[in-house]
């Protein structure tokens, strides 16, 4: 009884309030992750998924993976895809946010309309872009051709070296509004007075941007980049619909390759190992993010 | 506070990476509505010798409306004919079908009966989710190819539903306009395809996706040289790859086809963007319904040394541990002469039962081409690891189509195939 009382003396009662959430997370997030990790250390294939012995083979699956050219390719693809999407989305998003931060007629409605790419289901976007990128009847080649920029049709989605760019371009289009809206929100929190006094001190717009906007936006920018990284790194549906990882495995990401191994080739353990590599990378980014935000909070408290 | 929210958000996003995989599987087995709303009211219930009763759920993947209606129709008929067993069907998209079966197998949430693509049959039989129905079902009058696809280690794990094969479809108007006749050899195919190619029309295509569908359409090239599907790095295999590469490089075959399903290919043909294509029996009912504004016909696939086609089709498989007796009862009904004939005609399939197939398409010249081609149609597998073999083959022809070297691609595919077969 004493122990129970002591337990409630401080803030510990709060623990009870988070209990339902903790249970939920353990069952629906914790359990799948753990079972997936177990699976990746076993040799589960089509022959022993349901019956038969599942042997623990240690790091066997990971050894196979890191010798697998397609896995290495999908790993580098994922990094390339994520970084290029992130950088371009962010720059364009920032520019648009700055533009719509100016108060002119229609600035708000137009900003709202720009959110549409973000609201559209990914599959719809992917199908539309797949159509636009077609070589013979696609609108993109048609426009480029009429502008005289190209002399013959580009095989956007059917040649290994261009398919990745087509997929990246599509994802950038989807991601710009996400960046824009978060940056816009950050911009509105900067007091107008700062810019006014800077103007009185004779600062130009470039100085205002680098000395006021950027420093004050730092924590917002960090959040956007990390969230954007996580969001982009695990993209699956876009690639699956547009290219299914092809042509010749040139657009496989970790997510699509994991799916292919598990559900097309019935190599369940290998597939789960790929998913775990994805998880580890995202966990590292997540921890980095926690560290950044913790530091920020400490600073705020001082 | 804002930051805390962001942290929680980030963790949730991480979580969904893995949790996302499992979400969809569970809701499949629930709320299966029997496709016939008709209540069982027949008075003349037949005495049920085996005591089979209860619900039977079927999973299938046919996306064509006509196919779904045909299945619903025979289910309704069966449900009305007796009162012990109630059958219901659930559509699972083809792209998800293998995934759902795998997830269902792992989670022990499977239907009682599935209608699946025959090259996958051996994999699931090896997995142990199909019931051994040896002796429960008479398949002696069936064609050996389809029966083989249901057999693993001498045991029967299913019943062939119906078969189809591939032939060459051609646009009569376009060939005539180009002054060409129907090609019968590879060289002629190349010439005719090039002659029919214009700014908007491609001469020739077949579904070349990097998956089972693509492999199915590509393999006739290999078989026609006399090589088997397991001998890609042979004279024949390399010759087949070289020919496909040549077709693409010379503009006779459109590269777009590596993103086309068989349905997409048919639609391109129907829209007049394609002069010739390889496609299957099941497209006929749909194409006839479309009333295409041009004349079209079918012929056997142009050959190298031998006439060759691919054998496709679906099998019924009873799930082990499901309502096995009732499922077998339904199968007996579904494969009976009249029901089978109704299904085959509605779907444009050729019956796997030779006694039914004979005379199934009397007086229909288009279907007769398919029936004649049946004897040259090769089956894929049956092998539990067939999907991996198929993956290696589809990678090889995708490589050469996009500019790779045939010999290199063949060697690579062979290395994969050998490593799987020797295992």
Percent of chain B whose predicted confidence (pLDDT) is above 70: 88
B1 part of contact set with chain A, CB < 8 Å: no
Q: Do B255 and A155 touch (CB under 8 A)?
A: yes
Instruction: Read off the tokens for B331.
Output: 């199968």
Q: What is the 3-state secondary structure (H, E, C) of B292-311?
A: CCCCEEEECCCECCCCCEEE
- Give, to the nearest 10 degrees, the angle between helix B65-81 and helix B283-290: 110
Terminus-to-terminus CA distance in chain A, angstroms? 39
Q: What is the pLDDT of residue B23?
A: 37
328-367 of B, contacting A, C-beta below 8 A: none
Cβ-Cβ contacts under 8 Å for A216 (sequence gap 6 or more): A189, A190, A194
Q: Which neighbouring-strand residues pair with B279?
A: B167
Query: CA B89 from chain center: how many Å?
Result: 19
Residues of chain B contacting A49 with CB distance shorter than 8 Å = 102, 105-106, 127
Cβ contact, residue pair A247, B256, below 8 Å: no
Of B105, B209, B401, the CB nearest to A49: B105
pTM: 0.81
Could you identify the residue written with the tokens 């040259």? B376
pLDDT value at B237 more than 50: yes
Domains and CATH numbers, chain B: 53-164+312-377 (3.40.190.10), 165-311+380-422 (3.40.190.10)
Distance CA A213, CA A206 (A): 10
Q: How confident is the model at residue B19, as a pLDDT?
A: 42
Q: Cβ distance B303 to B186 under 8 Å?
A: yes
**Is the CB of A158 less than 8 angstroms away from the CB of B402?**
yes
CB < 8 Å & 24+ apart, contacts of A82-88:
A82/A229, A82/A232, A82/A233, A84/A168, A85/A168, A85/A171, A85/A172, A85/A175, A85/A228, A85/A232, A86/A175, A86/A225, A86/A228, A86/A229, A86/A232, A88/A172
pLDDT of residue A296: 67
Is pLDDT at B382 greater than 90 in this prediction?
A: no
pLDDT tens figures, B204-233: 999 999 889 999 999 999 999 999 999 999
For B168, how many CA atoms within 13 A lie in the half-sphere containing its CB? 26
Residues A210-227, mean pLDDT to the nearest whole number: 88
What confidence score (pLDDT) does residue B14 get?
A: 53
Name residue B58's beta-bridge partners: B89, B113
Other Cβ atoms less than 10 A from the Cβ of B410: the count is: 26
Beta bridge mates, B318: B113
The 3-state DSSP class for residue B84 equals: coil
The average pLDDT across A108-118 equals 86
Chain A residues in contact with B6 (beta carbon < 8 A):
223, 227, 293
Q: Is B54 on the interface with A (CB under 8 A)?
A: no
- Which residues of chain B have a CB within 8 Å of the CB of A73? none
CB-closest option in B6, B10, B391 to A264: B391
Residue pair A73/A246 in contact (Cβ under 8 Å)? The answer is: no
Q: Is the pLDDT of residue A105 over 70?
A: yes
Residue A39: burial class (beta carbons within 10 Å; 0-12, 13-18, 19+): buried
Residue pair A250/A209 in contact (Cβ under 8 Å)? The answer is no
In tens, the pLDDT along B79-122 reads 999 989 999 999 998 878 888 998 888 888 899 999 999 999 99
Contact A262 B255 (CB under 8 A): no
Average pLDDT over chain B, rounded to an integer: 86
Which of A49, A51, A263 lies closest to B98 in CB terms?
A263
Dist CA A173 CA A160 (whole Å):
21
Residues of chain B contacting residue A234, judged by C-beta atoms under 8 Å apart: 13, 16-17
Q: How many residues would you count in chain B?
A: 423
B51 pLDDT band, cuts 50/70/90, is low
Domain boundary assignment for chain A:
65-301
| Min distance B282 CA to chain A CA atoms (Å) | 23
Min distance B202 CA to chain A CA atoms (Å): 9
What is the structure's pLDDT at B22? Answer: 39
Under a CB-based contact definition with an 8 Å cutoff, are residues B28 and B92 in contact? yes
Residues of chain B with Cβ-Cβ distance to A259 below 8 Å are 99
Q: How far is B313 from chain A (nearest CA, A)?
A: 18
Q: Is the pLDDT of residue A299 over 70?
A: no
pLDDT exceeds 70 at position B49: no
Determine the Cα–Cα distance for residues A282 and A33; give it in Å rounded to an integer.
13
Looking at chain B, the number of H-run helices and the number of E-run strands are: 17, 11
Beta bridge partners of B117: B314
Chain B partners of A244 at a C-beta cutoff of 8 Å? 209-211
Confidence at residue A300, expressed as pLDDT on a 0 to 100 scale: 60
Tell me whether residues B19 and A282 touch, CB distance under 8 A. Answer: no
Q: In this structure, what token pair is assigned to residue B320? A: 């082990």
User: Which residues in chain B touch residue A263, judged by CB atoms under 8 angstroms apart?
Assistant: 98-99, 102
CA of A110 vs chain B CAs: smallest distance (Å): 27
- The DSSP string of B222-273 is HHHHT--TT-TTSHHHHHHHHHHHHHHHTTSB-GGGGG--HHHHHHHHHTTS
**Closest C-alpha to B168, from B159, B181, B149, B155:** B181
pLDDT of residue A53: 81
Q: Band of the pLDDT at B268, cuts 50, 70, 90?
A: very high
Probe site for chain B from A158, A249, A262, A272 (most B CB atoms < 10 A): A158
The candidate with the shortest Cα–Cα distance to B164, out of B415, B377, B389, is B377
B198 contacts: CB under 8 Å, gap ≥ 6? none
B126 touches chain A (CB under 8 A): yes
| pLDDT at position B361 | 85
Residues 6+ apart with CB under 8 A from A191: none
B365 pLDDT above the threshold of 70: yes
- Percentage, residues of chain A above pLDDT 70: 94
Q: Cβ–Cβ of B259/A245 closer than 8 Å?
A: no
pLDDT-derived band at B144 (thresholds 50, 70, 90) equals confident
Residues of A in contact with B126 (CB under 8 A): 46-47
Chain B residues close to A251, C-beta within 8 Å: none
B128 and A51: CB-CB below 8 Å?
Answer: yes
Q: For residues A133 and B270, give the distance between their C-alpha atoms in angstroms, rounded to a whole number.
A: 21
> How far is B47 from B57, CA to CA, in rounded Å?
22
* CB nearest to B128's CB, from A50, A243, A265: A50
- pLDDT at residue B35 tops 50: no
In this predicted structure, the answer to whether residue B193 has a pLDDT above a threshold of 50 is yes
Residue B5 has pLDDT above 80, yes or no: no
pLDDT at B50 (0 to 100): 53
Cβ separation of B384 and A157 shorter than 8 Å? no
CATH class given for the domain over A65-301: mainly alpha
Q: DSSP per residue over chain A, as a string?
A: -HHHHHHHHSTTHHHHHHHHHHHHHIIIIIHHHHHHHHHHTB---TTTSSSS---B-TTHHHHHHHH-HHHHHHHHHHHHHHHHHHHHHHHHHHHHHHHHHS--TTHHHHHHHTTHHHHS-HHHHHHHHHHHT-TTT-HHHHHHHHTTS-SS---TTTSHHHHHHHHHHHHHHHHHHHHHHHHHHHHHTS-HHHHHHHHHTT--HHHHIIIIIHHHTHHHHHHHHHHHHHHHHT--HHHHHHTTT-STTTT--HHHHHHIIIIIS--HHHHHHHHHHHHHHHHHHHHHHHHHHHHHHHHHH-
**Residue B203 reports pLDDT greater than 80:** yes
- What's the pLDDT at B307? 94
Which residues of B, range 187-246, sit inside 8 Å of A by Cβ?
A: 200, 202, 209-211
Which chain B residues are Cβ-neighbours of A158 within 8 angstroms? 255-256, 258-259, 402
Q: What is the mean pLDDT of chain A?
A: 88
Interface mutation vs chain B, best among A27, A82, A155, A246, most B CBs within 10 Å: A246
Contacts 24+ apart (CB under 8 A), B74-80: B74/B333, B74/B334, B74/B339, B74/B342, B74/B343, B75/B34, B75/B35, B75/B36, B76/B35, B76/B36, B76/B38, B77/B339, B78/B330, B78/B333, B78/B334, B79/B34, B79/B36, B79/B38, B79/B40, B80/B36, B80/B38, B80/B40, B80/B41, B80/B42
**Cβ within 8 Å, pair B106-A49:** yes
Residue B225 Ramachandran class (φ > 0 left, ψ -120 to 50 alpha, else beta): alpha
Q: How many CB atoms lie within 10 A of CB B401?
A: 28
Query: In which band, very low, low, confident or very high, does the pLDDT at B27 lie, cut at 50, 70 and 90?
Result: very low
**Contact residues for B58 (Cβ-Cβ < 8 A; gap 6+):** B71, B75, B87, B88, B89, B90, B111, B112, B113, B114, B115
The number of C-alpha atoms within 13 Å of A49 and in the hemisphere containing its C-beta is 26
Residues 386-405 of B with CB under 8 A from A: 387-388, 391, 395, 398-399, 401-404
**What length is written for chain A?**
302
Kindly provide the ipTM of the predicted complex, given to two decimals: 0.75
**A158–B255: do the CB atoms touch at under 8 Å?**
yes
The token duo for B260 is 């086309």
B-chain CB neighbours of A266 within 8 Å are 102, 123, 127, 385, 387-388
What is the pLDDT, as a whole number, of residue A298?
66
Confidence of residue A10 (pLDDT cuts 50, 70, 90): low
A275: chain B residues, CB-CB within 8 Å: 17-18, 21
Contact assignment for B254 to A219 by CB distance below 8 Å: no
Q: Does B22 touch chain A (CB under 8 A)?
A: yes
């Amino acid at each position: 009884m004493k122990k129970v009382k002591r337990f409630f003396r401080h803030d510990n009662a709060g623990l009870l309030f988070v209990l339902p959430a903790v249970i939920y997370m353990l069952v629906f997030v914790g359990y799948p992750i753990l079972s997936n990790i177990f699976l990746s250390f076993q040799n589960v294939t089509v022959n022993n998924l349901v019956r038969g012995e599942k042997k623990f083979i240690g790091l066997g699956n990971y050894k196979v993976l890191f010798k697998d050219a397609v896995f290495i390719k999908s790993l580098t693809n994922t990094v390339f895809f994520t970084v290029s999407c992130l950088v371009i989305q962010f720059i364009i998003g920032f520019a648009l946010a700055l533009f719509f931060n100016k108060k002119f007629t229609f600035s708000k409605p137009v900003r709202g309309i720009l959110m549409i790419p973000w609201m559209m289901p990914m599959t719809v976007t992917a199908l539309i872009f797949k159509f636009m990128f077609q070589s013979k009847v696609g609108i993109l080649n048609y426009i480029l051709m009429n502008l005289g920029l190209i002399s013959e049709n580009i095989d956007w989605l059917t040649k290994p070296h261009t398919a990745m760019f087509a997929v990246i371009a599509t994802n950038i289009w989807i991601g710009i509004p996400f960046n824009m809206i978060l940056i816009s929100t950050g911009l509105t929190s900067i007091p107008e007075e700062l810019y006014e006094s800077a103007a009185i001190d004779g600062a130009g717009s470039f100085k205002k941007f680098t000395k006021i906007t950027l420093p004050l936006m730092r924590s917002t920018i960090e959040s956007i980049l990390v969230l954007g990284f996580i969001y982009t790194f695990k993209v699956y549906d876009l690639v699956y619909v547009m290219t299914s990882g092809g042509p010749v495995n040139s657009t496989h990401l970790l997510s699509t390759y994991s799916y292919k191994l598990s559900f097309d080739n019935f190599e369940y353990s290998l597939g789960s190992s790929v998913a775990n590599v994805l998880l580890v990378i995202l966990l590292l980014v997540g921890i980095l993010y926690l560290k950044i935000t913790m530091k920020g909070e400490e600073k705020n408290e001082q | 506070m804002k930051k805390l929210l962001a942290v929680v958000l980030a963790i949730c996003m991480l979580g969904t990476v893995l949790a996302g995989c499992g979400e969809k599987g569970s809701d499949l087995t629930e709320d299966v509505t029997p496709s016939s709303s008709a209540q069982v009211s027949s008075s003349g219930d037949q005495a049920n010798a085996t005591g089979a009763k209860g619900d039977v759920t079927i999973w299938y993947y046919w996306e064509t409306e006509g196919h779904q209606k045909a299945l619903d129709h025979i289910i309704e008929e069966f449900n009305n004919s007796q009162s012990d067993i109630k059958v219901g069907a659930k559509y699972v998209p083809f792209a998800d079908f293998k995934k759902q079966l795998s997830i269902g197998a792992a989670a022990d949430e499977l239907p009682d009966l599935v209608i699946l693509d025959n090259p996958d049959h051996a994999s699931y039989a090896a997995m142990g989710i199909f019931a051994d129905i040896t002796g429960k079902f008479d398949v002696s009058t069936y064609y050996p190819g389809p029966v083989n696809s249901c057999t693993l280690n001498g045991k029967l794990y299913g019943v062939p539903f119906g078969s189809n094969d591939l032939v060459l479809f051609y646009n009569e108007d376009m060939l005539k306009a180009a002054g060409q006749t129907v090609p019968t050899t590879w060289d002629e195919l190349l010439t005719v395809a090039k002659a029919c190619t214009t700014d908007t029309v491609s001469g020739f295509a077949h579904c070349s996706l990097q998956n089972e569908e693509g492999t199915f359409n590509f393999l006739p090239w290999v078989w026609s040289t006399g090589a088997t599907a397991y001998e890609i790095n042979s004279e024949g295999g390399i010759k087949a790859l070289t020919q496909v590469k040549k077709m693409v490089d010379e503009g006779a075959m459109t590269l777009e086809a590596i993103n086309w399903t068989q349905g997409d290919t048919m639609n391109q043909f129907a829209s007049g963007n394609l002069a010739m294509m390889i496609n299957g029996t099941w497209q006929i009912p749909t194409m006839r319904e479309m009333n295409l504004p041009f004349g079209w016909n079918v012929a056997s696939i142009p050959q190298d040394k031998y006439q060759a086609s691919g054998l496709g089709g679906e099998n019924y498989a009873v799930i082990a541990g499901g309502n096995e007796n009732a499922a077998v009862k339904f199968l007996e009904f579904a494969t009976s002469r009249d029901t089978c004939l109704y299904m085959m005609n509605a779907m444009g399939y050729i019956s796997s039962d030779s006694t039914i197939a004979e005379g199934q398409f009397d007086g229909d010249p288009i279907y007769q081409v398919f029936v004649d081609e049946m004897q040259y149609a090769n089956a894929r597998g049956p092998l539990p690891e067939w999907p991996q073999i198929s993956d290696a083959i589809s990678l090889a022809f995708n490589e050469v189509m996009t500019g790779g070297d045939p010999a290199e691609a063949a060697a690579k595919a062979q290395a994969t195939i050998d490593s799987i077969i020797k295992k």
